[in-house]
Structure 1
Amino acid sequence: MSLTPTDDELMRRLHRDLRDDLDEEIELEFEDRHLDALAAAEGRPSTDGDAQSRQLYFRELLRLQAELVRLQDWVVATRHKVVILFEGRDAAGKGGVIKRITQRLNPRVCRVAALPAPNDRERTQWYFQRYVSHLPAGGEIVLFDRSWYNRAGVERVMGFCTDDQYEEFFRSAPEFERMLVRSGIQVIKYWFSISDDEQRVRFLARIHDPLKQWKLSPMDLESRRRWEDYTRAKEVMLERTHIPEAPWWIVAADDKKRARLNCIHHLLGQMPYQEVEQPLIALPERERHEDYTRNPVAPELFVPEVY
């Protein structure tokens, strides 16, 4: 059983979480040529073990993201169809890894489906119906930030479905996924696993950070209270829906950065992608016409240059 961290330990972990937020912003700006200057940018010597581990993280992330671009090219070229499900407890890091996967990909090829709670009309439909419209066509990758497994998790724990609906889900879900696979859609399922203590720290970080408080809903807080109920629901879900055609993969997610790298590395190994030769691109010369004159723009239309 994990011990409750001391106040000093808690503050250290909260500061680490804030530092990770900064790293997320740095990620958006980095290119390969910047990596050698990372330690200096950190304001600490490159021999600092923590700085070295962060440098390694950035280097590996960019390398894996370059491979994701190659994977994307292969998916488009072969008209492959991929569905990737991301499930896990609240604050487990699903959104973080989804962001890193999609960060440098074409949104027309790789898109995210994050469905809200069903409306009154959708609640009368076949349970899987609202997910079907988000499935990929040839040459597309769809990432589900939570999926039809809501019924096996939050709906079961919070009493949003009946016992009959719950049992019907377990009869239907494996057949639904087998049907997708038979139709040529590859289905990959990830469960992000975090400890009780780590979720507590991440929730506290959200509570005390005004930029993160929007991430906490009353449902999230209730899920914290019902930790053991969610654990039981997860165990049943994994046992009853782990099928050869669409197996579950567990990502150890207490360390956010390791979880991201491990998940992306594993994802790349799930498809036999190869380098796709791209045509050389030549920038054409701009045409200029003597009879063209650019119209002046009214000064009041410009955004004020405050910065």
Structure 2
Amino acid sequence: MSKKDKKTKKDRGGHDPAQVDPQSRKGGAADRAASPFKPDGKLSRKAYEKALFDLHVELVKVQMWAQETGARVCIVFEGRDGAGKGGTIKAITERVSPRVFRVVALPAPTEREKSQMYIQRYIQHFPAAGEIVIFDRSWYNRAGVERVMGFANDEQVHYFLNMVPAVEKAIVDSGIILLKYWLEVSMEEQTRRLEARIDDGRKLWKLSPMDLKSYSRWYDYSRARDDIFKATDSSWAPWYVVHSDDKKRARLNIIRHFLHHIPYEAPKREKVELPKRQKPGDYVEPDYPWKVVADTVGAPPSGG
């Protein structure tokens, strides 16, 4: 067993709650109390946060490794609306620097961008040395949402699917680590999540007219996914499918998979000690009428 394999096994503790089959954890009350799973088989919040803490430590090491070595990493997230792409990306990026882990979520193309070579608007966002770029949807829009919603014709989609393997070969040959994840959500779970957005004021922005139209075209998306996999699941840039009905398990599994495919090592660091503060000298706090934000915790939010 290699040093990296030993490290990975140690990090996972030998009993990764994200990998354990909940059906194998049957027993008495004591067993159920210690289980990392809820009665519905999904991972508990406590077990999730504990596992995520350890993974965040490793992601910080990846960040430092990328900065030190000049590595370039590109991660692609695709899947249906409501599959959990956004939550997974937040789980990856919430404890690292946005200047190293850059998230790219492009809006609809402008008229100028529509006149460019299709891949052009994506290439400009590729990582430079020391960067990890995460695409929240990517160039696969052409064969996914654009195909299903009628924004791209059959000829454009066919050309795209024929072109992509060679383009991704060039990306990998240039030294960029390319990982492609497809989050697969069930029909029932997608419905539950989209319905939940209707009555949740925090999620209204996630339910656009386009989302509603795409929801009705489940099997069109299935055909588009099947064609994408058939044409672009190459040996140099394979697709990794993640079942995401349990969002917590999916996030942990993706991060662990990502860490396994990045050849990082924690950089050596000197022991950090805070320096002594300077003495005040002749400094005196000013008698200034600061405009202080009032403490309104507990008060109802303003607005309509």
TM-score of Structure 1 vs Structure 2, range by shorter chain: 0.7 to 0.9
> Partners in 2 of 1:60 and 1:93 — Cα distance?
18
Q: 2:129 aligns with which of 138, 143, 146?
A: 138
Stretches of structure 1 that go unaligned for 5 or more consecutive residues are 1-45
Matched, 1:47 2:33: yes
Report SS of the residue matched to 1:290.
coil
Aligned to 2:61: 70
Shift of 1:291: 3.6
Q: 2:241 aligns with which of 231, 247, 250?
A: 250
Q: Which string of whole-angstrom CA distances, capped at 9 and with x for unpartnered residues, describes residues 35-57 of structure 1? A: xxxxxxxxxxx937539833222
> Partners in 2 of 1:238 and 1:253 — Cα distance?
18
- Segment drifting more, 286-295 vs 221-230: 286-295
Supply the AA of the counterpart residue of 1:63. Answer: D
Report SS of the residue matched to 1:111.
strand
Matched, 1:127 2:118: yes
Matched, 1:228 2:214: no
Report SS of the residue matched to 2:135.
strand
- Segment drifting more, 274-283 vs 237-246: 274-283
Q: 1:193 aligns with which of 184, 190, 196?
A: 184
Q: 2:88 aligns with which of 84, 92, 97?
A: 97
Aligned to 2:275: 284
Shift of 1:289: 5.4
Report SS of the residue matched to 1:239.
helix
Alignment of 1:1-307 (within 5 A): 47=33, 50=38, 53-288=44-279, 290-299=281-290, 301-307=291-297
In structure 2, relative to structure 1, the CA distance for the partners of 1:306 and 1:194 (3 Å cut) is: closer
Supply the AA of the counterpart residue of 1:101. Answer: I
> Partners in 1 of 2:34 and 2:261 — Cα distance?
35
Supply the AA of the counterpart residue of 1:206. Answer: R
> How many residues end up aligned between the 2 structures?
261
> Partners in 2 of 1:53 and 1:102 — Cα distance?
21
> Partners in 1 of 2:269 and 2:145 — Cα distance?
45
Q: Say which structure is richer in helix.
A: 1
Identity %: 50
Report SS of the residue matched to 1:229.
helix
> Partners in 1 of 2:153 and 2:57 — Cα distance?
45
Stretches of structure 2 that go unaligned for 5 or more consecutive residues are 1-31, 298-304
- Segment drifting more, 102-111 vs 227-236: 102-111
Give the TM-score, by structure 2 length: 0.81
Report SS of the residue matched to 1:134.
coil
> Partners in 2 of 1:297 and 1:240 — Cα distance?
67
Q: Which string of whole-angstrom CA distances, capped at 9 and with x for unpartnered residues, describes residues 210-260 of structure 1? A: 222221011111111110001000000011011111110000111111111
Report SS of the residue matched to 1:159.
coil
Please give the root-mean-square deviation of Cα atoms over the aligned residues, in Å. Answer: 1.8
> Partners in 2 of 1:285 and 1:48 — Cα distance?
46
Supply the AA of the counterpart residue of 1:303. Answer: V
- Segment drifting more, 163-172 vs 217-226: 163-172
Supply the AA of the counterpart residue of 2:295. Answer: E
> Partners in 2 of 1:295 and 1:275 — Cα distance?
45
> Partners in 1 of 2:160 and 2:267 — Cα distance?
40
> Partners in 2 of 1:146 and 1:107 — Cα distance?
18
> Partners in 2 of 1:270 and 1:58 — Cα distance?
23
